[in-house]
Structure formats: structure tokens, C-alpha cells
Amino acid sequence: MTLSSLHEVTVEWGDCDPAGIVYYPSYFRWCDQATYRLFLAAGLTRDDTHGGQWKEGTPLVAAECSFKRASQTGEKLLVESRISRFGRSSFTIAHVFRDASGAIAAEGSETRIWARKEGDARSLKAVPIPEEIRRRLGG
């Protein structure tokens, strides 16, 4: 079963550049939010931050976005997200942004690793994705 998450984003004035179109970092912020929503749909909290610092989580190791057409203030975009690839310790989330007509405005992806750390950030190590997590995310 492929798990996916859908949610709507309203393009706000602050999401746009001086030309009045979505400034590219806004898409990366929306991708990050969509990943969090995908994890919630799977019944997971993405990173354990209850103690103030996580010991096991999903750091981002790569991100990209292709812009198909300009989006502007007031526009509503539907974001669909799903896991498109599982590796041993990494996974890729695909994000598709559609406008009200259903046309693709942008397509993004994030590659994350399942990681554990025992001290500071330098102790971060990729570890195999737990089978229960993989199953919940549709793998």
C-alpha cells in the first residue's frame, strides 16, 4: 500500500519575491512541512525531540525542486507527498504541487536518512530504517 499525504497551501505575500512569484525557498519549506504531514499520516512523529535533542531522526541529505510555472499571492496549491524510494538507511519523498486546474506548478524531492547520534552532530550515523517504520510509510 502506498501511503500519501495531501494538503493545501495558500501562497501568502511573504512567500513571494519582488516579482510577485513564489520565492524558491518557500517550496523547500512547504516540502519539509509536507514530509512532517506524511509522517503524521503514518502515525509517526518524525523526530524524537521530547528531551530537547533527538537521538534518532531523519536528517535531510539532499533536496531539489523543479519549477514548472510561476505561482502568485493568493493562489492555492495542493501538495501531494509520498515515499518514492526506500534504501537500506535512506528514503526519498516526492512532492507534487498542483494548481486549482490540476496543472503541476512544481515538483520537489527530499532524500533523508534514518540516523542515530550519541553525542554532538559529528556522532551522527546512518542506520537501517526500522521495519515497522518502513511498513508504516508504505515500503
Average pLDDT over the chain reads 91
Instruction: List 104's β-bridge partners, or say none.
Output: 98
- The number of helices, as runs of H, and strands, as runs of E, in the chain is 2, 8
Q: Judge whether residue 119 has pLDDT over 90.
A: no
Is 98:37 a contact under the CB 8 Å cutoff? no
pTM higher than the cut 0.75: yes
Which is higher by pLDDT, 88 or 55? 88
The whole-number pLDDT of residue 71 equals 96
Give residue-wise pLDDT tens across range 8-61.
999 999 999 999 999 999 999 999 999 999 999 998 875 555 555 667 889 999
- The alpha carbon of residue 13 and the mean position of all alpha carbons in its chain are separated, in whole angstroms, by 22
Give the separation between CA 44 and CA 70, rounded to whole angstroms.
Answer: 33
Q: What percent of the chain has pLDDT over 90?
A: 78
Q: Please, what are the domains in the chain?
A: 4-136 (3.10.129.10)
Buried b / exposed e over 33-72, threshold 16 CB at 10 Å, is ebbbbbbebbeeebbeeeeeebeebbeeeebebebeeebe
The whole-number pLDDT of residue 52 equals 54
Separation of first and last alpha carbons in the chain: 8
The whole-number pLDDT of residue 121 equals 76
